[in-house]
Chains A and B, each alone.
Chain A
Amino acid sequence: MELSMTARAEAGHTVLEIGGEIDVYTAPQLREELQRLIGEGATDIVVDLSRVDFIDSSGLGVLAGIHRRLRSLDGSLRLVYSHERLLKIFRITGLDSVFDIYDSVDAATAAGQSR
Chain B
Amino acid sequence: MAHIHLTFSPDPAYMRTVRLVVAAVARRAGLGADAVEEIRLATAEACARAVARHRAHRISTPIEVSMSDGDRFTVRVTDHGPPEPGIGLRYSKGAGVVVNDLNDDDIPDDEVTADMSFVLLKGLVADLKIAHGSASAGTEVFMSWPVNRPVGR
Interface flag for A89 (CB, 8 Å): yes
**How close is B80's CB to chain A, nearest CB, in angstroms?**
18
**How close is A62's CB to chain B, nearest CB, in angstroms?**
8
Question: Across the interface, which residues of A come within 8 angstroms of B124, CB to CB?
Answer: 92
Interface flag for A35 (CB, 8 Å): no
Interface flag for A65 (CB, 8 Å): yes
Q: Is the CB of B37 within 8 A of A85?
A: yes
Complex Cα–Cα for A98 and B96 (A):
11
Q: Is the CB of B15 within 8 A of A24?
A: yes
Count of A interface residues, CB-CB < 8 Å: 24
- Pull 26 A–B residue pairs with CB atoms less than 8 Å apart, ordered by A: A21-B16, A23-B15, A23-B16, A23-B44, A24-B12, A24-B15, A24-B48, A24-B51, A25-B16, A54-B41, A54-B44, A56-B41, A57-B113, A58-B48, A58-B113, A60-B116, A61-B116, A64-B113, A64-B116, A89-B120, A92-B120, A92-B124, A93-B120, A94-B96, A95-B99, A97-B99
Question: Across the interface, which residues of A come within 8 angstroms of B105, CB to CB?
Answer: 68, 72
| Shortest Cβ-Cβ A-B pairs, 9 listed | A61-B113, A92-B123, A25-B12, A57-B117, A65-B109, A57-B116, A24-B12, A24-B48, A94-B99
Question: Across the interface, which residues of B come within 8 angstroms of A72, CB to CB?
Answer: 105
Q: A residues 98-115 with Cβ under 8 Å of B?
A: 98
Q: Is the CB of A56 within 8 A of B98?
A: no
- Residue of A2, A24, A60, A68 most packed against chain B (CB within 10 A): A24
Question: Across the interface, which residues of B come within 8 angstroms of A94, CB to CB?
Answer: 95-96, 98-99, 119
**How close is B44's CB to chain A, nearest CB, in angstroms?**
5
Interface flag for B112 (CB, 8 Å): yes
Knowing A56-B41, A92-B124, A94-B95, say if A68 contacts B109 (CB, 8 Å).
Answer: yes
Knowing A24-B51, A56-B41, A60-B113, say if A95 contacts B16 (CB, 8 Å).
Answer: no
**How close is B39's CB to chain A, nearest CB, in angstroms?**
13
Complex Cα–Cα for A21 and B123 (A):
21
Of the residues B13, B41, B51, B95, contact of A89 by C-beta under 8 Å: B41
The contact string, 1 if C-beta is below 8 Å from chain B, for chain A 38-70, is: 000000000000000010111011001101100
